[in-house]
Homo-oligomer: A and B are copies of this chain.
Amino acid sequence: MNKLNLSVIPGDGIGKEVVPLTLNVLDTLASVHGGVKFEYEKYPWSCEYYLEHGEMMPKDGMAKLHQSDAIYLGAVGNPQLVPDHISLWGLLIKIRRECEQVVNIRPAQYIKGVKSPLAEPNDFDFVVVRENSEGEYSEVGGRIHSGDDEIAIQNAVFTRKASERTIRYAFDLAVKRSGKVTSATKSNGIVHSMPFWDQVFKEVGTEYPNINIESNHIDALCAFLVSKPHHFDVIVASNLFGDILTDLGAAVMGSIGIAPAANINLNGNYPSMFEPVHGSAPDIIGQGIANPIGQLWTAKMMMDHLGLEELGSLLFKAIKETIGEGIKTKDLGGLSTTEEVIDYINAKILT
């Protein structure tokens, strides 16, 4: 029996509602497989934990995570309780960085039964490969002067190492997909980091002569995700641009509630982390209507990552069929509760 140790962090808000329920689905998948078992180490790290302990996770928390095979996260943050920069930099971004999850992979595709806000969503299917360790998200910077003269300076730090590995990941992915990579840039307005990014993109591109490459400014690219999402296959982007493009991808799919993300450690020295793109949604807590699809699609990515692709495919098939059969939450125009959707998917996997 292959025992896989999963660190489970439900986090805040709907994360706490959805994550525990989806563990049943993981167990079902394991039982279907027969040769694998998931063991869960559950951690209550969250904004509430912070209010009690003055930190988002205990000092030895990271060491515990490091021992697991993967981290399964719900959602982090609840600005009503704890300012975002504390909760996120103390948990989500901290794990991404200290577990060296240097790329963030976020697929978006047209799913039958999910009503896209687009009039003609046209079967799009793209993946955003997002730099996940540096860039515009940086603690380097500060303020000077006060009152009317106050100035805030924010540094964005782009290393060749991080840019290159992200871009290379995108090209490698494109080799396995349709052979096209689009780079998000803004070198016409942002004149130090973005021309550097463009240069690395071009250089790595020469190693992949069979891959089609294009570069779009982030403003135009956002517009294109709305006007022609089917045009794209692999999109590679900096931390901030990847963040923006993936929320937009989720919007174009029809709901932020279904979008998944995988924070990948490329060296295998620490675990990767799997989290939905959505936040903790404090506004719908306790109603039982949170959409579990983002969390489950995330679990599918975790299966694939753990080498259990057949379980990943099984889960994804069950997800799509369930939505296709109209079993879906309110945000997708359905009437089902979180639990009903999960139960249905569970049952599908077993048949």
Contacts and interface: CB of A to CB of B under 8 A. Distances in A.
Contacts of A251: 222-224, 226-227
Contacts of A149: 160-161
Interface string A128-160: 000000001111011100011111111111111
A195 interface: yes
A309 to B, nearest CB: 30
A85 B188 contact: yes
A246 B223 CA distance: 9
A340 interface: no
A81 to B, nearest CB: 14
A177 to B, nearest CB: 24
Given A151-B157, A192-B141, A247 B219 contact: yes
A223 to B, nearest CB: 4
A119 B116 CA distance: 8
Contact of A192 (B84, B143, B195): B143
Contacts of A222: 222, 244, 247-248, 251
Contacts of A220: 247, 256, 279
A167 interface: no
A115 B227 CA distance: 11
Interface in A200-229: 218-220, 222-224, 226-227
Q: Give how many copies assemble into the complex.
A: 2
A54 interface: no
A62 interface: no
A252 interface: yes
A190 B157 CA distance: 12
A215 to B, nearest CB: 10
A240 interface: yes
Interface in A180-201: 186-197
Nearest to A148: B160
A77 B156 CA distance: 26
Given A119-B117, A247-B220, A160 B155 contact: no
Nearest to A143: B196
Contact of A154 (B118, B155, B246): B155
Contacts of A191: 85, 89, 137-139, 141, 154
A189 B226 contact: no
Given A120-B117, A222-B244, A248-B223, A153 B155 contact: yes
A27 interface: no
A88 interface: yes
Among all A-B residue pairs, the 10 with the closest Cβ atoms: A141-B192, A223-B251, A152-B196, A154-B193, A219-B247, A84-B188, A150-B160, A226-B251, A154-B192, A154-B156
